[in-house]
Amino acid sequence: MDRHLMEVNGGETVQEDGSASDALIRFYRAFNAGDLKGLEKVWLGGSDPSMDNPIGGIRRGWDQIADGYSKLFKGNTKVQVTFHDFTSQGGDEWHLFVGRERGVCQTATGTLAVAFRTTRWFVRKGGGWRQLHHHGSVEDPQMLAAYQKMIFG
Protein backbone atom coordinates (compact mmCIF):
# COMPACT_ATOMS: atom_id res chain seq x y z
CA MET A 1 0.00 0.00 0.00
CA ASP A 2 1.59 3.22 -1.16
CA ARG A 3 -0.35 5.63 1.03
CA HIS A 4 -1.25 5.92 4.66
CA LEU A 5 -4.90 6.67 5.28
CA MET A 6 -5.81 8.03 8.70
CA GLU A 7 -9.50 7.22 8.33
CA VAL A 8 -11.83 5.78 5.72
CA ASN A 9 -15.51 6.55 5.16
CA GLY A 10 -15.75 5.76 1.45
CA GLY A 11 -15.44 9.34 0.27
CA GLU A 12 -11.73 8.95 -0.42
CA THR A 13 -10.41 8.74 -3.97
CA VAL A 14 -9.44 5.24 -5.02
CA GLN A 15 -6.03 5.06 -6.65
CA GLU A 16 -6.97 2.25 -9.07
CA ASP A 17 -3.59 0.71 -8.26
CA GLY A 18 -4.88 -2.72 -7.29
CA SER A 19 -4.29 -2.05 -3.59
CA ALA A 20 -6.20 -3.48 -0.67
CA SER A 21 -6.81 0.10 0.49
CA ASP A 22 -8.91 0.68 -2.65
CA ALA A 23 -11.04 -2.33 -1.68
CA LEU A 24 -11.41 -0.95 1.86
CA ILE A 25 -12.55 2.42 0.48
CA ARG A 26 -15.01 0.69 -1.82
CA PHE A 27 -16.40 -1.31 1.10
CA TYR A 28 -17.10 1.81 3.17
CA ARG A 29 -18.46 3.68 0.15
CA ALA A 30 -20.96 0.89 -0.51
CA PHE A 31 -21.86 0.34 3.15
CA ASN A 32 -22.47 4.01 3.90
CA ALA A 33 -24.57 4.33 0.73
CA GLY A 34 -26.62 1.22 1.54
CA ASP A 35 -25.41 -0.25 -1.77
CA LEU A 36 -25.74 -4.05 -1.67
CA LYS A 37 -24.45 -4.47 -5.24
CA GLY A 38 -21.38 -2.44 -4.33
CA LEU A 39 -20.77 -4.66 -1.30
CA GLU A 40 -21.11 -7.76 -3.45
CA LYS A 41 -18.24 -6.48 -5.62
CA VAL A 42 -16.02 -6.16 -2.53
CA TRP A 43 -16.91 -9.37 -0.67
CA LEU A 44 -15.68 -12.78 -1.77
CA GLY A 45 -18.55 -14.80 -3.21
CA GLY A 46 -19.55 -18.33 -2.38
CA SER A 47 -19.43 -20.11 0.95
CA ASP A 48 -15.97 -19.03 2.17
CA PRO A 49 -16.58 -15.55 3.61
CA SER A 50 -17.72 -15.03 7.19
CA MET A 51 -18.91 -12.21 9.39
CA ASP A 52 -19.46 -11.95 13.13
CA ASN A 53 -20.90 -8.92 14.89
CA PRO A 54 -23.50 -8.09 17.57
CA ILE A 55 -26.22 -7.16 15.06
CA GLY A 56 -25.79 -9.74 12.32
CA GLY A 57 -24.48 -12.55 14.51
CA ILE A 58 -22.35 -15.19 12.81
CA ARG A 59 -22.97 -15.39 9.08
CA ARG A 60 -21.23 -17.75 6.71
CA GLY A 61 -21.15 -17.40 2.97
CA TRP A 62 -21.99 -14.41 0.82
CA ASP A 63 -25.72 -15.26 0.71
CA GLN A 64 -26.08 -15.05 4.51
CA ILE A 65 -23.93 -11.92 4.67
CA ALA A 66 -25.94 -10.26 1.89
CA ASP A 67 -29.18 -11.14 3.69
CA GLY A 68 -27.96 -9.32 6.81
CA TYR A 69 -26.95 -6.21 4.88
CA SER A 70 -30.22 -6.28 2.95
CA LYS A 71 -32.27 -6.33 6.16
CA LEU A 72 -30.26 -3.42 7.55
CA PHE A 73 -30.52 -1.36 4.36
CA LYS A 74 -34.26 -2.01 3.91
CA GLY A 75 -35.06 -1.26 7.54
CA ASN A 76 -35.93 2.05 9.18
CA THR A 77 -32.39 2.60 10.42
CA LYS A 78 -29.49 4.29 8.64
CA VAL A 79 -25.97 3.59 9.86
CA GLN A 80 -22.96 5.64 8.74
CA VAL A 81 -19.46 4.80 9.98
CA THR A 82 -15.86 5.90 9.56
CA PHE A 83 -12.97 3.46 10.04
CA HIS A 84 -10.11 5.00 12.04
CA ASP A 85 -7.28 4.26 14.46
CA PHE A 86 -6.33 1.22 12.41
CA THR A 87 -3.36 -0.88 11.48
CA SER A 88 -2.77 -2.26 8.03
CA GLN A 89 -0.57 -5.22 7.20
CA GLY A 90 -0.48 -7.83 4.51
CA GLY A 91 1.28 -9.95 1.96
CA ASP A 92 0.87 -10.75 -1.70
CA GLU A 93 -2.38 -12.68 -1.18
CA TRP A 94 -3.87 -11.26 2.05
CA HIS A 95 -4.39 -7.97 3.82
CA LEU A 96 -5.64 -7.29 7.33
CA PHE A 97 -7.10 -4.03 8.66
CA VAL A 98 -7.68 -3.84 12.42
CA GLY A 99 -9.11 -0.74 14.04
CA ARG A 100 -12.21 1.11 15.14
CA GLU A 101 -15.35 2.48 13.58
CA ARG A 102 -17.24 5.49 14.83
CA GLY A 103 -20.44 6.85 13.43
CA VAL A 104 -24.13 7.47 13.77
CA CYS A 105 -27.22 5.30 13.79
CA GLN A 106 -30.38 7.22 12.87
CA THR A 107 -34.08 6.45 12.85
CA ALA A 108 -37.07 8.74 12.42
CA THR A 109 -37.23 9.07 16.21
CA GLY A 110 -33.61 9.29 17.30
CA THR A 111 -29.88 9.37 16.72
CA LEU A 112 -27.20 7.36 18.50
CA ALA A 113 -23.42 7.76 18.34
CA VAL A 114 -21.93 4.31 17.74
CA ALA A 115 -18.44 2.87 18.18
CA PHE A 116 -17.11 -0.56 17.23
CA ARG A 117 -13.87 -2.50 17.21
CA THR A 118 -13.46 -3.84 13.68
CA THR A 119 -11.32 -6.32 11.78
CA ARG A 120 -11.53 -6.67 8.01
CA TRP A 121 -9.53 -9.40 6.26
CA PHE A 122 -9.11 -9.25 2.48
CA VAL A 123 -7.67 -11.86 0.14
CA ARG A 124 -6.54 -11.50 -3.47
CA LYS A 125 -8.96 -13.58 -5.56
CA GLY A 126 -10.85 -13.21 -8.79
CA GLY A 127 -8.59 -10.49 -10.14
CA GLY A 128 -8.73 -8.23 -7.10
CA TRP A 129 -9.03 -7.83 -3.36
CA ARG A 130 -12.13 -9.40 -1.81
CA GLN A 131 -13.22 -9.27 1.81
CA LEU A 132 -13.06 -12.74 3.35
CA HIS A 133 -13.92 -11.94 6.96
CA HIS A 134 -15.30 -9.16 9.14
CA HIS A 135 -15.45 -9.18 12.91
CA GLY A 136 -17.03 -6.39 14.89
CA SER A 137 -17.44 -5.95 18.62
CA VAL A 138 -18.58 -3.29 21.07
CA GLU A 139 -16.83 -2.13 24.22
CA ASP A 140 -19.77 -0.19 25.71
CA PRO A 141 -22.65 -2.49 26.72
CA GLN A 142 -25.09 0.43 27.16
CA MET A 143 -24.38 1.69 23.64
CA LEU A 144 -24.79 -1.85 22.33
CA ALA A 145 -28.18 -2.24 24.03
CA ALA A 146 -29.38 1.10 22.63
CA TYR A 147 -28.04 0.19 19.15
CA GLN A 148 -29.73 -3.21 19.17
CA LYS A 149 -33.00 -1.58 20.27
CA MET A 150 -32.79 0.88 17.37
CA ILE A 151 -32.07 -1.88 14.85
CA PHE A 152 -34.43 -4.57 16.14
CA GLY A 153 -37.12 -2.42 17.77
Q: What is the pLDDT of residues 10-30, one digit of tens each?
A: 999 999 999 999 999 999 999
pLDDT band, very low/low/confident/very high, at 152 (cuts 50, 70, 90): confident
Q: What is the CATH number of domain 7-152?
A: 3.10.450.50
Report the distance separating Cα 26 and Cα 29, nearest Å: 5
The pLDDT value given to residue 67: 97
Give the model confidence (pLDDT) of 65-117 as tens digits. Answer: 999 999 999 999 999 999 999 999 999 999 999 999 999 999 999 999 999 99
% of the chain surpassing 70 pLDDT: 98
C-alpha dihedral, 22 to 88 to 124 to 11, nearest 10°: -20
pLDDT at 3: 63
**Helix (H/G/I), strand (E/B), else coil: 118:** strand
Mean pLDDT of the chain: 95
pLDDT at 116: 98
The full set of domain ranges for the chain reads 7-152
Residue 126 pLDDT class (50, 70, 90 cuts): confident
Helix/strand/coil for 42: helix
Instruction: Tell whether the model's pLDDT for residue 2 goes beyond 60.
Output: no
pLDDT category of residue 1 using cuts at 50, 70 and 90? very low
User: Alpha-carbon distance 58 to 63, whole Å?
Assistant: 13
